């Protein structure tokens, strides 16, 4: 089949991707973030678009160009990412959570810059847990009804397969994609382990672009039940 005549694997699908870190304010000039580069999520958004999907990319603070044809929503905190994700997911058929969402945020963000008071005392900071965006979307009525296919990511520093399978069940998602972090953060290549109820599929070390294309094909096969 001539390539441009071949049906695209995600034609007619609406895909939402979360990507990058979140930023949790301490005061107007400081905050807590993490080392996620956003590259894998941006590569997946690009590959999904190239596969014919309508793509919304919800991006934490990263300096990466928006893939061609992708609708981008910039967010900072986990709470803002959650609002954008929950709203976008209502129209979506596939939700892919690659973002490294901060697990905790300062319980209160100071309204003004916190100043040293000259006594040498350090500020005490209390944290609260952020909402689990993926679990919330994956337990929404449309996801439970099978109208929204949810994919989670996990960076694990050890016991990749066991941790990934446990996390898949805990999050309530049909597919969880695991990689060894933080070794892959910011790198241009990666290796992925796909965990679903059938078992484990390995996508060996390759560029994030190539892995994103392979992952999109794996997702399309699971959503559409075909090999196009
Ligand atoms: N995730 C999310 N919202 C959160 C935390 C995680 O949507 N507040 C998503 C991530 O985008 C990823 C998946 O959940 O797709 C797994 O994230 P991970 O940090 O590995 O899992 P946690 O449940 O936070 O567990 P832990 O960090 O303790 O391993
Ligand atoms: Ca986490």
First-to-last C-alpha distance (Å) of the chain: 11
Q: What is the pLDDT of residue 218?
A: 97
Query: Residue 129 is encoded by which pair of tokens?
Result: 């847990």
Q: What is the pLDDT of residue 157?
A: 81
Q: What is the mean pLDDT of residues 5-21?
A: 93
Q: Which value does ipTM take for this structure?
A: 0.99
pLDDT exceeds 70 at position 227: no
Ligand 1 atom closest to residue 152's alpha carbon, by position in its atom list? 15
User: Do 202 and 213 form a contact (C-beta atoms < 8 A)?
Assistant: no
Query: Residue 91 is encoded by which pair of tokens?
Result: 């129209």
CA 165 to chain centre: 17
Q: Tell whether ligand 1 has an atom less than 6 A from the beta carbon of residue 133.
A: yes
**Domains of the chain, with CATH numbers?**
10-108+126-224 (3.40.50.10300)
Residue whose C-alpha is closest to residue 189's, from 209, 160, 161, 216: 209
In degrees rounded to 5, what are phi and psi of residue 103?
A: -70, -30
> How many angstroms separate the alpha carbon of residue 144 from the centre of ligand 2?
23
Q: At a CB cut-off of 8 Å and minimum separation 6, what does 158 contact? A: none
User: What number of other Cβ atoms are within 10 A of residue 163's Cβ?
Assistant: 17
Residue 179 catalytic? no
Q: What is the pLDDT of residue 182?
A: 66
* Residue found by looking up tokens 């994609």 in the block: 177
In degrees rounded to 5, what are phi and psi of residue 198?
A: -90, -20
Nearest alpha carbon, ligand 1 atom 12: 153
Q: What is the pLDDT of residue 156?
A: 84
Q: What is the pLDDT of residue 181?
A: 66
Cα 192–195–9 angle (5° rounding)? Answer: 75
Could you give the dihedral angle defined by the CA atoms of residues 189, 195, 201 and 202, in that order, rounded to the nearest 10 degrees?
Answer: 30
* Residue found by looking up tokens 């990058």 in the block: 20
Ligand 1 atom closest to residue 99's alpha carbon, by position in its atom list? 11
User: What's the pLDDT tens digit per position in 203-218?
Assistant: 999 999 999 999 999 9
Model confidence band, residue 6 (pLDDT cutoffs 50, 70, 90): confident
User: What's the pLDDT tens digit per position in 82-131?
Assistant: 999 999 999 999 999 999 999 999 999 999 999 999 999 999 999 999 99
pLDDT exceeds 80 at position 160: yes
Q: Percentage of the chain surpassing pLDDT 90? A: 86
User: What's the pLDDT tens digit per position in 15-73?
Assistant: 999 999 999 999 999 999 999 999 999 999 999 999 999 999 999 999 999 999 999 99
User: What's the pLDDT tens digit per position in 176-200?
Assistant: 999 876 677 778 888 899 999 999 9
Residues in binding site for CTP: 103, 113, 131-134, 153, 167, 171
Q: How far apart are CA 190 and CA 157, in angstroms?
A: 14
User: What number of other Cβ atoms are within 10 A of residue 112's Cβ?
Assistant: 8
Ligand 1 atom closest to residue 130's alpha carbon, by position in its atom list? 8
Q: Tell whether ligand 1 has an atom less than 6 A from the beta carbon of residue 215.
A: no
> How many angstroms separate the alpha carbon of residue 70 from the centre of ligand 2?
26
Q: Tell whether ligand 1 has an atom less than 6 A from the beta carbon of residue 152.
A: yes
């Amino acid at each position: 089949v001539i390539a441009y005549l071949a049906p695209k694997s995600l034609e007619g699908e609406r895909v939402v991707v979360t990507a990058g870190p979140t930023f949790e304010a301490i005061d107007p000039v400081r905050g807590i973030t993490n080392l996620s580069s956003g590259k894998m999520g941006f590569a997946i958004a690009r590959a999904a678009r190239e596969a014919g999907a309508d793509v919304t990319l919800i991006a934490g603070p990263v300096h990466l160009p928006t893939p061609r044809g992708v609708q981008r929503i910039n967010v900072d905190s986990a709470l803002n990412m959650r609002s954008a994700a929950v709203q976008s997911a209502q129209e979506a058929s596939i939700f892919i959570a690659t973002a490294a969402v901060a697990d905790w945020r300062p319980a209160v963000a100071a309204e003004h810059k916190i100043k040293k008071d000259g006594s040498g005392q350090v500020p005490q900071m209390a944290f609260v847990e952020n909402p689990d965006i993926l679990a919330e979307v994956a337990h929404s009525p449309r996801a439970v009804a099978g109208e929204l296919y949810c994919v989670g990511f996990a960076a694990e520093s050890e016991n990749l397969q066991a941790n990934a399978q446990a996390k898949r069940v805990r999050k309530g998602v049909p597919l969880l994609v695991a990689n060894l972090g933080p070794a892959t953060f910011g790198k241009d290549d990666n290796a992925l382990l796909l965990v679903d109820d059938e078992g484990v599929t390995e996508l060996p070390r390759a560029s994030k672009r190539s892995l994103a294309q392979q992952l999109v094909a794996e997702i399309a096969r699971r959503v559409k039940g075909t090999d196009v």
